[in-house]
A = this chain, B = another copy of it.
Amino acid sequence: MNSLDYKFDFRDERNLSLVMDFYELTMSQCYFNSDHRDRIVTFDLFYRKNPDEGGYAVFAGLEEVIGYIQNLHFEDEDIAYLRSLHKFSEPFLNYLRHFIFTGDIYAIKEGTPVFPYEPLIRVKAKIIDAQLIETAMLLCINHQTLIATKARRIVKAAKGRAIMEFGARRAHNFDSANYGARAAYIGGVAGTATTYAGQKFGMPVLGTMAHSFVQSFDSEYEAFLAYAKTYPDSCTVLLDTYDTLNSGLINAIRVAKDYLEPNGYRMQGVRIDSGDMAYLSKKIRKALDEAGMQDCNIVVSNSLDEYLIKSLIDQGAQINSMGVGENLVCSKSAPVFGGVYKMSSVYENGEMIPKIKVSENVEKVTNPGFKDLYRIYDKESGKAIGDLMTLHGEVIDPKKDLTIYHQMNSWKNKTIPGGNYIVKDLLEPIFVEGQLVYDVPKLEEIRAYSEQEFQCMWDEILRFEYPQTYYVDLSKKLLDLKLKMLEDVKHG
C-alpha cells in the first residue's frame, strides 16, 4: 500500500495544531529569540509503570500521531488568536505561520508489547519542532496505549471467548469512544458497538437491543418477535427487562419456536445485562439446550472487567461472548497512562551532548543520550529475552556473546551466548526530515502483528498477579555514561 494514498484517511478533519500546552509556545518564542533557535535536540517518549500492576503495555496511537504531525500548521485564525494574547512578537508569529515539522521521528510499531523506560518514540529535530509536538503526541499515545493494554488483559481473561467493546456512552468524549474502540481492537477485542469506529477504522460493529426497545412494545413477546422478523438470521434478544428466567428466557424460546425455526432460522443469541451471571447463564444454557437450541449463544454485559471475567469462567459460567463497557473504554481501574517526553541530548557543532534529568526519586532519573532500542529473542524458543537500549550506532554482533546491564547497577547483568539469539531493531523510521517514510499498516495487520508478538512473550510476563519484570537493560557504554553523568551532577 502506498502511504501517500492512505494518509488522508487518518488525518483529522479538525485543525488540532493548537492542542499544545501553552508553555510549548512560550518556550518556543524564547528559543526563537535565542542564539540556539535551530539547535538539534533529541527527546524520548517513554513511560515508567505498567497499568494495573501488570507486566506490559500494548503500544498504540502512532497512526494518530502521524496524522497530527502531518496536519501540524498554524492557520491565520490560530495566529490571530495567539496575537490576541499579547505575548508573542510579530516575527515569531510569522515564523509559526510558516512552520512545518522538519524533524526525524522513529517509533515502535503499534501493537508491540512494550515496557517501562524504553523509548516508544524517539524524536530528533530542531528544538522548536521537538517541543511543539509534545502534548499531542503524549495524549494520543497515552490514551490508546492505555486502552489497548486494558483490552489485551480483558481478552486474555476471556480465554478465547469474544469480547465486544460497548463503552462509548461512558467514554471521555467522542475521541475517547472512537479511538478507544480502535485501541481495543488492537488489544484483541472482536468488535465495537460504536458505529463511527466501524466506519472510520474498518473494524466490526455489533449491537442488538436496549431495554427501552422491549418496553416500547405492548409485550416482551411482541418486541422479540418484531426483532426476529427484521433480523431473522442474526437475532439476539435481551432477556432481563422484566424477569430474566420467568419472562425473557421463555419469550426468547417461544419466538424461536413460533417464528424463527418454522421459517428456517435459528435464534442466534440471548443477552443478559443484570443479575448473577454465573447462576443465570447456567440456568439459561440448560433451558436452551433442552429446547434444542444448543447453537444459541449467551452474551453477558454487566460491569465486566478482567477479574470478573476470570471469576465467571472459574465458576463454570456458560458464556459465549461478553460486552465490556466503562471498565475498558475508561480503563476504570487504572485510568491514567503516564507517558512522558524527556530531552535526551542536544547537538552542538554536530556533536551529541547527552542530557540527563536527575531526581531525588531513582525511578525518575532518565537514560541519557541519543539511543537505539533492540529486542533480543532466544533463537530456539522464539521467546523474547529482553530489550536493550544502546547509544545510537553501537553494533550488536549476534555471533558474539552479549552482556546486558540493569539500568542502574552494573553488577546486575546477564550474558547471552553468541549464536543463541536474534536481534530486532524496535525503532522504525516514521518521519525523516519531516517526510513520512512509513508504510502505515492497516488496523487488521496491526492487530495480527500484536497477537504474534505476544506469542513471543513468556507467560510469566503476561500473568495478572505479580508478573515477572521483563528485562529492559542497557549496553555497557550507555550505563557507564549514565553513571558518570550522575556522579558529575553530584559532585558538580
Contact = CB atoms under 8 A, between A and B. Distances in A.
Q: 6 tightest A-B contacts by CB?
A: A22-B207, A23-B207, A173-B175, A335-B335, A172-B172, A138-B169
Interface residues on A, range: 35 or more
A172 B170 contact: no
Contact of A330 (B13, B29, B172, B208): B172
Contact of A213 (B27, B138, B143): B27
A483 to B, nearest CB: 18
A481 interface: no
A19 interface: yes
27 contacts: A12-B14, A14-B174, A19-B196, A22-B198, A25-B207, A30-B230, A34-B226, A36-B217, A131-B210, A134-B210, A135-B169, A139-B170, A140-B173, A169-B341, A170-B336, A170-B337, A172-B175, A174-B175, A175-B176, A211-B343, A212-B342, A215-B343, A215-B357, A216-B343, A241-B357, A330-B335, A332-B336
Nearest to A336: B326
A356 B110 CA distance: 46
Contacts of A230: 26, 29-30, 33
Contact of A174 (B139, B209, B234, B489): B139
Nearest to A171: B139
Interface string A335-356: 1111101110010000000010
A462 interface: no
Nearest to A146: B172
A359 interface: yes
A115 interface: no
Nearest to A222: B34
A194 interface: yes
A19 B178 contact: yes
A427 B416 CA distance: 70
Contacts of A138: 169-170
A23 B210 contact: yes
Contacts of A194: 19-22, 135
A412 interface: no
A214 to B, nearest CB: 10
A358 B226 CA distance: 22
A330 B139 CA distance: 12
Q: Count copies of this chain in the complex.
A: 2
A43 interface: yes
A92 to B, nearest CB: 9
Interface string A201-235: 00001111111110111000000001101110010
A34 B212 CA distance: 15
Interface string A47-91: 000000000000000001000000000000110011001010000
Contacts of A208: 23, 26
A139 B178 CA distance: 11
B14 A226 contact: no
A161 interface: no
Nearest to A14: B13
A216 B36 contact: yes
Contacts of A205: 22, 85
A445 to B, nearest CB: 20
Given A27-B213, A85-B198, A335-B335, 18 more contacts: A13-B14, A16-B174, A18-B195, A19-B178, A22-B205, A23-B213, A25-B195, A64-B173, A81-B199, A87-B234, A131-B212, A134-B210, A139-B174, A139-B176, A172-B173, A172-B175, A212-B343, A332-B336
A274 interface: yes
A33 to B, nearest CB: 5
Nearest to A195: B18
